Amino acid sequence: MISAFTILFTMALVSLFFHRSFLLKPLSLVALSAAFYVTLGGAVVPLIGFATNEQIKLFELVLEIVLFASILHESEEITITQTLFLGAASVLLLQSNTLVSFILSFEALSIISVVLVSYIKTKNQAQGAVKMFIAGSMATGIVLLGSAFYLMGGGMLLEPLSSKGSEFMNIGVALMLAGLFYKLTIVPFHGWAIDTYALIRHSHAAILSGIAKTVAALAIFKIFAPFLAEHITLSLPLLATLAIITMTLGNFLALFTKNIARILSYSSIAHAGYMLIAFVAVKSTYADEGILYMAIAYIFMQSGAFLALDSLKKEYDIKTLDDLKGFASQNSTLSFFFTIQLLSLAGIPLLAGFLAKAVVFYAGVDAGLWWLVLIALLNSALSVGYYAWIIKSMYFDEGTLKERLVDLHLPQIAQLILAAGTLYFGVFASSVFM
């Protein structure tokens, strides 16, 4: 049976033989297009413990588009291979339906993420990779410990998460969530993320914070939402507190940062806080659409922003806000795409970021949590402060002309694809509400 997973996994294996060949990139793109086509046709997953539905299918399509764009952007062969492996693992994780399949595919995704960042050329990258490796191993340990508690309480490995058991199950789920929140960079489990995202290569950060994190968030929601809904009295105060701390801390720290990669890392943490609102408002019928919309919007805008930053660094060696001054007059195309993604992250309408926030926050209001939504809205308004500041550096400041180190064309097509996605899902919401 041909499915998106088999195509991606096979291509990832085959790509090992095409190293240093000009064929690698076109072949990968063809494979991704084939995976897109197969997903569009609605291939059934025959494996036990895996299931798919319309929403997961839509997200897989989006995921394949974003993977396509990031491979188009990428110039290192080894990263292309790893991206394909990561895509295969992501498809598995999204479709996993039982605890054991979830944990296994989650581990697969984590291991590939670690391999991805281990492509080390400088001391800084080594620091980022090691931090991620240590934090990731911790998280894995905690998830496994949590699942052990869960099984001790009477849970079943080969079934979806249920709450028919003893108190140990609650402890187990709480521990598993703690481990998983490492990946989602929820405060206070966020420490590793800022350094890792900011220090490793920006195109890797795009995959890590844009793709891997979003896939994890959606998969965690799919597995854990029924359980959280049943224990709403326990989960609501805890998760609401985490959501408030996460978005507030992320936004405030971003305000006082000069390094663009760090700003995007903090903004990634703040967005994890917004996503958590869907977990809090799990009782609402809008929570499903909320997290799905957030995932779709976020995967486009976060990967877009980080990939644009990667081009900025490669082509002009831009790192801080000061380097960015007057950039719009130099490369208006790149700054236009970067601006679109930043405005979307800031939640400006007609871009996906706004509708995603609107649906997630509406789910919060629908669940009766208007105070939480008010805090989230004010946070989102505050975040305009630093996004607008980046745009200000590009457009309003006078800068010195920078020397163009290399001339890249494919990344601009990648940017076009991602910006088109951000625009499309900012206007046509009907595809998400099925």
Partner 1 sequence: MSGVELIFYPFIIALLTAVFFRQNSAVSKFVALALFTYMLLFSINLFSQLPSSGYLDLGTYLSVPKFDFILTLKVDMLSTIMLTLTSVLLLLVALSSWSMKNQALYYSLLIFFSGAIFGVFMSTNLLWFFIFWELTLVPMYFLVGIWGEERRIYAAVKFFLYTHVASMFVLLAFFLIHKEAGTFDMTLVREGMLLSPVLIWWLLFVGFSVKMPLFPFHTWLPDAHVQAPAPISVLLAGVLLKMGAYAMIRMVLLLLPETSQQYAWVLLVLGLITLFYAGFMAIYETHLKKMVAYSSISHMGLVAIAMATLSYSGLSAALYEMIGHAFVIAPLFLLAGFFHHKTGSWEMKDMGGIMQKAPYISAIFVLAGLGALGLPGTMGFVGELSILLSSIKSFGLWMAVVAFGSMLGAAYIIWTLRRVIYGEMSEVVRKTNFSMNIFEFLALAIFALFIILFGVFPNLLFEYINPAFAQFTSLGGAL
Q: Which residues bind partner 1 (CB under 8 A)?
A: 286, 289, 343, 348-350, 354-355, 358-359, 361-362, 365-366, 370, 373-374, 377-378, 380-382, 384-385, 388-389, 392, 395-397, 427-430, 433
Nearer to partner 1, 18 or 286 (CB): 286
Nearer to partner 1, 130 or 377 (CB): 377
| Short-list 283, 352, 339, CA closest to 309 | 339
Nearer to partner 1, 41 or 385 (CB): 385
CA distance 174 to 181: 10
The least distance separating partner 1 from the CB of residue 342, rounded to whole angstroms, comes to: 11
CA distance 293 to 270: 16
Could you tell me if 263 and 209 are in contact, meaning their C-beta atoms sit under 8 angstroms apart?
no
| Short-list 208, 223, 204, CA closest to 99 | 223
| Short-list 58, 67, 85, CA closest to 296 | 58
Dig out the tokens for 328 from the structure.
């719009």
Calculate the CA dihedral of residues 261, 262, 264, 266 and round it to 10 degrees: 170
Nearer to partner 1, 175 or 297 (CB): 297
The least distance separating partner 1 from the CB of residue 423, rounded to whole angstroms, comes to: 10
The least distance separating partner 1 from the CB of residue 281, rounded to whole angstroms, comes to: 12
The least distance separating partner 1 from the CB of residue 254, rounded to whole angstroms, comes to: 14
| Short-list 114, 393, 112, 373, CA closest to 240 | 373
The least distance separating partner 1 from the CB of residue 373, rounded to whole angstroms, comes to: 6
CA distance 434 to 384: 31
Dig out the tokens for 57 from the structure.
């299918």
Nearer to partner 1, 62 or 67 (CB): 62
Dig out the tokens for 221 from the structure.
């929601």
Dig out the tokens for 383 from the structure.
């975040």
Nearer to partner 1, 299 or 367 (CB): 367
For 278-290, the DSSP string reads HHHTTTSTTHHHH
The least distance separating partner 1 from the CB of residue 295, rounded to whole angstroms, comes to: 17
Dig out the tokens for 21 from the structure.
């060949």
Nearer to partner 1, 104 or 377 (CB): 377
Nearer to partner 1, 192 or 389 (CB): 389
One-letter amino acid at 262 equals: R
The least distance separating partner 1 from the CB of residue 355, rounded to whole angstroms, comes to: 8
The least distance separating partner 1 from the CB of residue 33, rounded to whole angstroms, comes to: 28
Could you tell me if 305 and 338 are in contact, meaning their C-beta atoms sit under 8 angstroms apart?
yes
Give residues with Cβ within 8 angstroms of 169, minimum separation 6.
149, 150, 153, 154, 155, 163
The least distance separating partner 1 from the CB of residue 60, rounded to whole angstroms, comes to: 21
Nearer to partner 1, 150 or 389 (CB): 389
Within 10 A of 214 (CB to CB), how many other CB atoms are there? 28
Could you give the count of Cα atoms lying within 13 Å of 424 in the half-sphere of its Cβ? 12
